[in-house]
Chains A and B, each alone.
Chain A
Amino acid sequence: MTSLLNRLFGRPRKGSGKTAKDRLRFVLQHDRINLPPERLEEMKRDILAVIVKYVVVDKDRVEIALEQRDRNHSKIVAEIPVVKQTVPPSPEINMDSHENNSDTPVGETEDSVDEGKPADSDAEAAAIASDDGEDTDEGGNKNKK
């Protein structure tokens, strides 16, 4: 019976067979472009370091990943949510503040918190809304809650 169900709906994807397939996918993604996992992590850090020089990024929700259709088609796909800035910060100040607060998550630097916003949670909601491409004004935030 299990065998029949497997035949109709595909195999149960547990067990070491599934693990084998996942591990193969992982290993081949890196093999095929000759970029070991550690180097990929390094690259991600470098990419982000460049981007935060110009915009404020919601660091917790950054996704930079390898995608591979087959042996000859690999791409780097990045989703890097940018935190909305109502008062455009002067680039110089922006950069300085990052250098000085390198331990602070980028999305939560002083610059990124809009004037007059009461709490952190609001800044976060704004980031989510802008990421979804929705209206990011105060009304939009209220609707979301």
Chain B
Amino acid sequence: MGGKVVTVTSGKGGVGKTTATANLGISLANLGKKVVVIDADIGLRNLDVIMGLENRIVYDLVDVVEGRAKLRQAMIKHKKFEDLFLIPAAQTRDKMAVSPKDMVELTDKLREEHDYVIIDSPAGIERGFRNALEPADEVLIVTNPEVSAVRDADRIIGLIEAADKGPGRLIINRLKTEMVNKGEMLSAEDVFDILSLEIIGIIPEDEFVLSASNSGVPVTLNEGSRAGMAFTNVARRITGEDVPFMNLDENPGFFKRLMRFLDGR
């Protein structure tokens, strides 16, 4: 089968899918993997600027699907990593320009020469989400410790299970430890209690994420960033490595619970 297709999705918009996709792409490349990241958010192209590749785009995903460009031509090589490529979304088309079957065909080709294909899903549960889900071998659900984000995550998890793509793993993004400690934010454990899904990463709120998006250099390339470290850990877990969770001042018993949850499957 070759490489693995990992889809990053969420239901709700603005929770950190594109940030996660960019950082996982970079981290995996940094670990020596051959990686392609695909922006499946057609009409709202974003992954290119987050990765600092916006000025290199000639062709996009829809050009490939509609035969105007060869796959190779739409793959933009990252400035820093030889084996990291971006396939950008079309900016002026809508989601119906691509079908789930197109995505399967495309990723099947990419699998042959790459270790990981990471798909940045658009928000929502419509066509764009279906496009991103169909070729997935593994689904990562990004959520924030917030009522509406967790609610939408639950809905998406149900749809992922129904499509036989489950169970998926959870990235809890933008956790603010001080607020959790004051009892003013859902903790990672609360989110786990509610969604009962394996957690693959807990990413702290981190101002570096904004500066990174300003500069087009994702936080994983910033050694001082806690969010960057957390994303790197997620990438290592994707490769199958057993990486302990960073100390986010979570209730220590919780990590034991997580381990038991994993052992119990």
- Say if the beta carbon of B187 comes within 8 Å of chain A: yes
Contact of A17 among B154, B183, B252 (CB under 8 A): B183
Within 8 A of A (CB), among B139-166: 146-147, 150-151, 154-155, 157-158, 161
Within 8 A of A (CB), among B32-65: none
B196 to A70, Cβ gap below 8 A?
yes
A10 to B196, Cβ gap below 8 A?
no
Mark A residues whose CB is within 8 Å of B.
3, 6-7, 10-18, 20-21, 23-25, 27-28, 31-32, 70-72
B194 to A16, Cβ gap below 8 A?
no
Total of A-B residue pairs, C-beta within 8 Å: 66
Residues of A within 8 A of B252 (CB): 7
A6 to B181, Cβ gap below 8 A?
yes
Known: A16-B184, A17-B186, A17-B187. A7 touches B196 (CB 8 A): no
B180 to A17, Cβ gap below 8 A?
yes
A11 to B251, Cβ gap below 8 A?
yes
B154 to A3, Cβ gap below 8 A?
no
Residues of A within 8 A of B137 (CB): none
B187 to A11, Cβ gap below 8 A?
yes
B151 to A11, Cβ gap below 8 A?
no
Residues of A within 8 A of B183 (CB): 11-18
Residues of A within 8 A of B154 (CB): 28, 31-32, 71
| Total chain B interface residues with beta-carbon distance under 8 A | 27
By DSSP majority rule, is chain B's interface helix, strand, loop, or mixed?
A: helix
Residues of B within 8 A of A16 (CB): 183-185
- Say if the beta carbon of B182 comes within 8 Å of chain A: yes
Residues of A within 8 A of B157 (CB): 71
Q: Can you give 9 A-B contacts (C-beta < 8 A)?
A: A3-B181, A15-B184, A17-B184, A17-B187, A17-B190, A20-B147, A24-B151, A24-B194, A70-B196
A25 to B154, CA, bound (A): 11
Which 4 interchain pairs have the tightest Cβ spacing? A15-B183, A70-B196, A17-B183, A21-B190
B196 to A71, Cβ gap below 8 A?
yes
Known: A11-B180, A16-B184. A27 touches B147 (CB 8 A): yes
A7 to B249, CA, bound (A): 8
Contact of A10 among B158, B185, B251 (CB under 8 A): B251
A17 to B185, Cβ gap below 8 A?
yes
Contact of A6 among B147, B179, B251 (CB under 8 A): B251
A21 to B251, Cβ gap below 8 A?
no
A32 to B156, CA, bound (A): 11
Residues of B within 8 A of A28 (CB): 151, 154, 194
A10 to B252, CA, bound (A): 9
